[in-house]
A and B are shown apart, each in its own frame.
Chain A
Amino acid sequence: MTESAALLELRTVTQQFGGVTALSEVDLGVPEGAIFALIGPNGAGKTTVFNLITGVYRPTAGSLWFGGAKISGKRPHEVARVGIARTFQNIRLFDNMSALENVMVGADARHDSSVVGAALGLRRHRREERDGRERGMQLLDLVGITRVAEDTAKGLSYGDQRRLEIARALATQPRLLLLDEPAAGMNPAEKEQLGVLIRKIRDIGVTVFLIEHDMGLVMQVSDRVAVLDFGQKIADDTPSAVRTDPRVIEAYLGAPADAT
C-alpha cells in the first residue's frame, strides 16, 4: 500500500465536546483498496472518527478529505452520495421494515427519480425500483441472508442484523465502507465468516475502514492498523509492527501514568 494514494485523509483533526477532548490533532490516511483498522481502548475516540467522517459531527479544528475533495462541513446524506457508507456500533436498522426494504433505502441514495416521477410512475422511477430490488437481493446474497429478505429487520438474529447493516451500507455503492465493531456479539464461526466477507468486499473494489476490538480479526484481515488512545494517535503501521509497539501495549494494559 502506498501512502500517496490515500482515499480518505484526516488532517490534524480535533474534536471537543464541551470540556472533553475526544480527538486531539489526529492525522490519518486510509489508502485506496486497503483494509485499514482503527483500534484503541474504550472511549479512545474511534466512533467519533466515524461520526466526523460521515458528517454527523463537524470537527472543532482540522479538516477531512475524501478522494482529494474536502468533506468536512457536508451533511451526512451528501457524504453518503460522495461514496462513504457506514454501519453502527449498536445496530440501527429500520426495525419495522423488511430486510430488503432496508437495503433498498440504501440503494435509493443512488437514485434520481423525483417525487413527481414516483407519483406518475414514470419510466425512470420504475427502472430504479427494479434496480433497487435486484441490487438489494444481490447484496443480501453477498452477505448471506437472502432467506430472510422479506422478514422485518428486528426479527432477525443478531448476526443477521449485523450482516444486514453491511448490505444496506453497500447498497449506497460506496468507495469507502466504515465498519464500527462489526464482530461485536458474534461467535467464533460468525467472526470467521465476517473476515471472509470483509476481504470479499475489499476485492470488489471497496476500501474498508474497520473499527474492531477483536484483535484476532484485526490482525487477520488488516493491511494497516492505527491506534488511538485518549484521543491521540499513538501508532499507525503494519499489523505486526503495531502488535509489538511498546506504546500500544502500554495503552492496552493501562500504564500507571494514565490512571487519573
Chain B
Amino acid sequence: MRRIGLPDVIGPISDRWSRLPTPARYVVYVIAIVAAFALPADSIGSFMSPQSDWSAILFYPIGVYILLAIGLNVVVGQAGLLDLGYVAFFAIGGYTMGKIGLSLKWDFWVILPCGIAAAAVAGVILGAPTLRLRGDYLAIVTLGFGEIIRITANNLNFTGGPRGLSGIPNPPSVGSFSALQFNVATTKPFYYLVLVMIILAIVLVKRLERSRVGRAWAAIREDEDAAEVMGVPTFRFKLWAFAIGACIGGAAGVLFAAQTISITPEDFPFLLSSYIVVAVVLGGSGNLAGVILGAFLVAWLPERFRGFADYRVLAFGGALVLMMIVRPEGLLPSRRRRAELAEGTGGMGSLGGGVGGAQTQAVRIEAVETDAVQTGAVESEAAP
C-alpha cells in the first residue's frame, strides 16, 4: 500500500543504531560533540553563512532554537500535548535575567536557576487548570498564554514596556581563556555555552525517556484512559512534561537575554512559538535527532538565504504543507511515532486529542466498550 520512501531507508538505520553496542555509541557521541565544538570554524562558516557572522548565528537563532525545540519536544513529542504558547517560557526566562540582572546585579549563574524556576512555576500555573481540558482547548489556552505574557510585558513599566530592558549584564568571564570571555565583542563563547546547555538538556531528556517517566508519557500518548487505569497518574505526568519543557525554555531565555543584553516584547512573538512547533513536527516529534535537525533547518535556512527573508513565513507554510503530504512523520521520526502515525493514533490528531476530563474519559471508554463484540474487537479498533 505505501510507497517505498525515506522512512524505509531510515527505519533500518535507526534499528541498527539502537542495536549498536554501548561503547560504539559512545564513540559516535564523542565525535558528535567534538564536531559541534569545532563548528564555529571560519572554513565551515564561509559556506554555511557567507553573509553574516557564523558563530553569532550558531548561538542565535540556531543554538537557541535547538534548545527550545528539545524542551518543546518533551511536551509535544513525548507527552503528546500541543502547546502553542511555548515562547512564554522563553520570555519568562529572558525577563527574569533582565530584571534581576539589572536591579539586583546578580551573576548570570545565580539568575539561571531563578529563570528556570520562574518558568517552571509558570508552567505549573498554566498546566494545573488546563491539562484537564481536552486537547484542542489546551492548544487554544496555551496560545493565549503566550500572547498574554508578551502583551503584559509590553504594558508594564516593571518590564520596561515596549522598549523592554537594556543593559542586561553578560555572564562573567572566566580567567583569560578566550573561549570564556563573555562580552558584546565575543560570539563563540556564547555558542559554547548554549552547546553545553543543549548537551545537558539532551542527557536529561534521554534519561527521562528511558525511565518510568518516558513510559508513562508514551502510555498517555497511546491510550490515556488505559494508562490511568493501569496506575499512571496521568495528570501529574502531564504536568511534569509541562514543567520540564518550561524549565528548558526558561534556561534558553536567560541565556538569550544575557547575550543580547537588551530584550523587548517583540523578541517573543507568537511566530517564534510556531517556528519551534514547526521544528519539532518537521524533524519528527519524539525523536531527538530529528527534532534537533528540524530546529537547525528552521533557524539556519532563512539566515543562509537572506535574500528571501521576506518569504520566510510563506516558505515555512509551504514546506509544512508539503511535509504533511509526503512525510507526515517528520524527517527523522522515532520508530514508535512512525507506527502511531501509520495507524492514525498519533500525529496531529493525537497531539490535539491528548487530554481528557473525567466526563469525556468516561464516555470514551463506554463508547469503545459497549460496541465491542467478541472477536470483532480488534478489527473495529483498527478502523478509524
Contacts and interface: CB of A to CB of B under 8 A. Distances in A.
Interface in B207-234: 207-208, 211-213, 215-216, 218-219, 222-223, 225-234
A92 interface: yes
B345 A118 contact: no
B360 to A, nearest CB: 12
Contacts of B231: 77, 80-81, 106, 108-110, 172
A96 interface: yes
By secondary structure, the B interface counts as helix
Contacts of B310: none
A152 interface: yes
B153 interface: no
Nearest to B215: A105
Interface string A135-177: 0000000000000000010100010010000001100100000
B361 interface: yes
Contacts of A121: 207
Contacts of A95: 222-223, 339-340, 343, 345
B375 to A, nearest CB: 4
Contact of A108 (B222, B232, B339, B374): B232
B362 A118 contact: no
A67 interface: no
Interface string A31-46: 0000000000001000
Q: Which of B229, B233, B372 has its CB near the most chain A CB atoms (within 10 A)?
A: B229
Contact of B216 (A105, A184, A185): A105
A154 B382 CA distance: 10
A185 B374 CA distance: 6
A89 B226 contact: no
B219 A105 contact: yes
Interface stretch (B144-152, B156-164, B260-268, B363-371): B363-371
Interface string A73-111: 001110111000110111111111100010011101111
B344 to A, nearest CB: 11
A188 to B, nearest CB: 14
Q: Give the contact-size bracket for chain A.
A: 35 or more
B216 A108 contact: yes
B222 A76 contact: no
A104 B210 CA distance: 12
A213 to B, nearest CB: 8
Contacts of A230: none
Contacts of B233: 77
A4 B301 CA distance: 73
A65 interface: no
Interface string B39-83: 000000000000000000000000000000000000000000000
B204 interface: yes
A55 to B, nearest CB: 8
A26 interface: no
A47 B345 CA distance: 24
B229 A56 contact: yes
A76 B377 CA distance: 23
B244 interface: yes
B287 to A, nearest CB: 13
Interface stretch (A125-133, A200-208, A235-243, A246-254): A125-133
A125 B343 contact: no
Contacts of B8: none
A19 to B, nearest CB: 15
Nearest to A47: B369
Contacts of A51: 362, 365-366, 369
9 contacts: A43-B370, A80-B230, A90-B378, A108-B232, A119-B208, A121-B207, A128-B212, A158-B378, A213-B374
Interface of A: 17, 43, 47, 51, 54, 56-57, 75-77, 79-81, 85-86, 88-97, 101, 104-106, 108-111, 113, 115, 118-121, 125, 128-129, 132, 152, 154, 158, 161, 168-169, 172, 181, 184-185, 213
Q: Nearest 6 pairs between A and B by C-beta? A: A109-B231, A80-B231, A90-B372, A118-B211, A90-B377, A185-B375
Interface of B: 204, 207-208, 211-213, 215-216, 218-219, 222-223, 225-234, 240, 244, 336, 339-340, 343, 345, 361-362, 365-366, 368-370, 372, 374-375, 377-378, 380-381
Given A118-B208, A185-B375, 17 more contacts: A17-B366, A56-B229, A57-B362, A80-B229, A90-B377, A90-B381, A92-B223, A94-B227, A97-B218, A108-B231, A119-B204, A120-B207, A128-B212, A129-B211, A152-B339, A185-B378, A213-B374
